[in-house]
Amino acid sequence: MAQLLAVVGGGDLSTHAVLALEALRKAAGRRNQPIALELRGGNPLPEAAIAEGRSVLLVGQGDLGEGRFGALATVRAAIEDVLADAGAVLDRALAGSTDAARAPASASAAASPKRIVAVTSCPTGIAHTFMAAEGIQAAGTALGHDVRVETQGSVGARDPLSEAEIAAADLVLIAADKGVDRARFAGKRVYATTTKAAIRDGKGLIATALAEAQVQPAEGAAADGPARPAAAEKQAGAYRHLMTGVSFMLPFVVAGGLLIAIAFAVGGIDAMSPGNAGTLGYALGEIGAKAAFALIVPALAGYIAYSIADRPGIAPGMIGGMLAANLQAGFLGGIAAGFIAGYTARFLNRHIRLHKNLEGLKPVLILPLLATTITGLLMIYVVGVPVAAVLAALTGWLKGMQGASALVLGLILGGMMAVDMGGPINKAAYASAAALLSSGVDAPMAAVMLGGMTPPLGLALATRLFPGRFTAPEREAGGAAAVLGAAFITEGAIPFAAADPLRVIPAMVAGSAVAGALALSLGVTLKVPHGGLFVLPIPNAVTNLTGAVIALLAGTVITALLVGILKKRAA
């Protein structure tokens, strides 16, 4: 009996995806039907299984790597349908109901060697950026393609693509969780997706990109055509726009927070008082508090708008962000200003039509003037005051947290950091804590950082305490996970979680939740949004350093012990 292939992708609904996968496995077993299953984000289907497959069942939405399957018959289903009646979905797949199969000519064209250039980027510009680059590079080399990857990391572009390389490319592949400027790729076939897609299945991503990439229109082209490739447009949304703003905001938070901490270390707790004007501590405090921190909200708003409307959104977004800061609406007002400015600028850009000789006035005169005016008036008369009241209430509640409320918030924030290890849930907790720093609330960042360090550190410890539960490659990876965890790179736990998600992820969530709860319960605060262990020794960067160490050790040990209890012995 020929084998059925099934790919399940849950996107943000990772738990539902796992349940759907198990439901299909059981339904196939009852029918004695051979089935090869892939959970996106875990181990991809072997090429041998694909070659022997009779048809493919694609469950869920997002990038399922369908480009790998060539002319195989394809059946699609929703996760909800599988959870409701997996047998019915399986019967439909076996009956051979198909979507349009890819043309053989397209498949053969995709199989020929191509020149591919790629850009990878994530909000913090650290782990996911480089893991995605490695995934694309390795997959392209294995498939026989010529691949060059540019990483847009935390310190800017690394190995930037030259104009000649872009001109010679057959495909531009963008794997990013934040906005990437596409102007230089005008006229090229472009496919955009997330870093996670490149990490989990580079070969499938390249095959899909070759089949589905669309031509990027030139800057200033008529608005009839799509502003972005369809794949990017489907995946772009509020989350991506917010993460773009957060990524550009972070350097201001880091620089300002550290400078304020150093000011206190140099000049004492009163370093920034007027009586100390002219001293080094006072000067450092001025730079950090009145320069770097003053730009946090405008940068957040400006680059949210940039993600939505490209460069026409930056000026109205930053001006709206400055108004939010002046109105005491803080980061919440900045987020509102960014979305208002971005969607206003994009709407005006698409609907204002001028003679081609006057088209050059749009980006330098018409769009900045109109979008800024609309954004500013809405911020002053509609948005600013109520958002400022909400922020003040939130800030007061967070600063007054004690006892049970601090414990619960710490549990939630710490647990969120371990659920998807750099995914949307992790980034939502991180972005919230980083934004709160601009309002002087620094306790949530302590729970987030300690909770994010715990998973890789706990797994590294587990490989030493329970070596029999891990394969030899996993034991070797334990050392790397320890280094990544010490640097607050939660993604170091991904290989372990992908190999055994049902046992490893609950253990990580439990340890991170305990670390976060202890941090807030013990009054730990953190003025810097990144750095891990390397920022702990900086004077005044951490309040209650002893409590931070206790929380981190407790979370790490709990994760390691639970992994040792839950995991089976390695074969």
539 located within any domain:
yes
427 located within any domain:
yes
Domain boundary among 95, 129, 145: 95
Rounded mean pLDDT, 529-537: 80
pLDDT at 346: 92
Q: Which residues, in sequence order, are bridge partners of residue 74?
A: 56
Domain boundary among 372, 395, 418: 395
Rounded mean pLDDT, 425-434: 84
- Same domain for 172 and 296, yes or no, is no
pLDDT digits (tens, 9 = 90+) for 252-288: 888 888 888 888 878 876 788 888 888 998 999 899 8
- Same domain for 50 and 195, yes or no, is no
Residue 515 pLDDT class (50, 70, 90 cuts):
very high
Residue 124 pLDDT class (50, 70, 90 cuts):
low
Catalytic site residue 80? no
For residue 410, how many other CB atoms are within 10 A of its CB?
30
Strand pairing of 171-176 and 156-158? unpaired
109 located within any domain:
no
- Same domain for 406 and 543, yes or no, is yes
| pLDDT for 14 beyond 70 | no
pLDDT at 322: 95
CA atoms within 13 A on the CB side of 395: 18
- Same domain for 386 and 424, yes or no, is no
Rounded mean pLDDT, 381-397: 88
3-state secondary structure 465-509: HCHHHCCHHHHHHHHHHHHHHHCCCHHHHHHHHHHCHHHHHHHHH
| pLDDT for 66 beyond 80 | no
Q: In the structure encoding, which two tokens stand for residue 393, read together?
A: 């209430």
100 located within any domain:
no
Count of structural domains within the chain? 4
340 vs 66 pLDDT, higher one? 340
| pLDDT for 230 beyond 50 | no
pLDDT at 98: 40
Q: CA-based Rg of the chain, rounded to a whole angstrom?
A: 25
pLDDT at 437: 81
225 located within any domain:
no
How many angstroms separate the Cα of 376 from the Cα of each of 164, 297, 332, 370?
42, 15, 15, 10
- Same domain for 345 and 248, yes or no, is yes
Domain boundary among 47, 64, 95: 95
CATH number at residue 179: 3.40.50.2300
Q: Please tell me which residue in 4, 8, 20, 122 is annotated as part of the active site.
A: 122
Q: If you count them, how many residues does the chain have?
A: 571
- pLDDT over 90, % of the chain: 25
Q: d(Cα 23, Cα 445) in Å, to the nearest integer?
A: 39
pLDDT digits (tens, 9 = 90+) for 326-335: 998 888 899 9
212 located within any domain:
yes
Rounded mean pLDDT, 551-556: 95
Q: Is 164 exposed, middle or buried (0-12, 13-18, 19+ CB in 10 A)?
A: exposed
Among 46-50, 121-125, 185-189, name the one with the lowest average pLDDT. 121-125
pLDDT digits (tens, 9 = 90+) for 71-106: 778 888 888 778 777 887 887 887 754 443 334 444
Domain around 259: 236-395
pLDDT at 415: 92
- Same domain for 251 and 379, yes or no, is yes
How many angstroms separate the Cα of 333 from the Cα of each of 138, 307, 308?
43, 17, 17
- Same domain for 153 and 25, yes or no, is no
Report which of 424, 462, 429 is spatially closest to residue 529, judged by C-alpha positions.
429
Q: d(Cα 527, Cα 125) in Å, to the nearest integer?
A: 20
Q: Is 61 exposed, middle or buried (0-12, 13-18, 19+ CB in 10 A)?
A: middle
Q: In the structure encoding, which two tokens stand for residue 27, read together?
A: 């339904």
475 located within any domain:
yes
The mean pLDDT of the chain is 82
pLDDT digits (tens, 9 = 90+) for 345-364: 999 988 888 877 777 788 88
- Same domain for 249 and 390, yes or no, is yes
89 Cβ partners below 8 Å, 6+ apart? 24, 27, 57, 59, 77, 81, 82
- Same domain for 406 and 517, yes or no, is yes
- Same domain for 384 and 416, yes or no, is no
Residue 44 pLDDT class (50, 70, 90 cuts):
confident
- Same domain for 433 and 556, yes or no, is yes
pLDDT digits (tens, 9 = 90+) for 168-223: 899 999 988 777 778 888 888 898 888 877 877 788 788 888 888 888 876 544 33
571 located within any domain:
no
Report which of 414, 398, 446 is spatially closest to residue 514, judged by C-alpha positions.
414
Q: Which residue has the tokens 């995709």?
A: 110
CB of 10 within 8 A of CB of 81? Answer: no
Among 229-233, 306-310, 451-455, 563-567, name the one with the lowest average pLDDT. 229-233
CB of 556 within 8 A of CB of 511? Answer: yes
558 vs 392 pLDDT, higher one? 558
How many angstroms separate the Cα of 490 from the Cα of each of 67, 282, 474, 494, 518?
30, 36, 16, 8, 19
- Same domain for 124 and 40, yes or no, is no
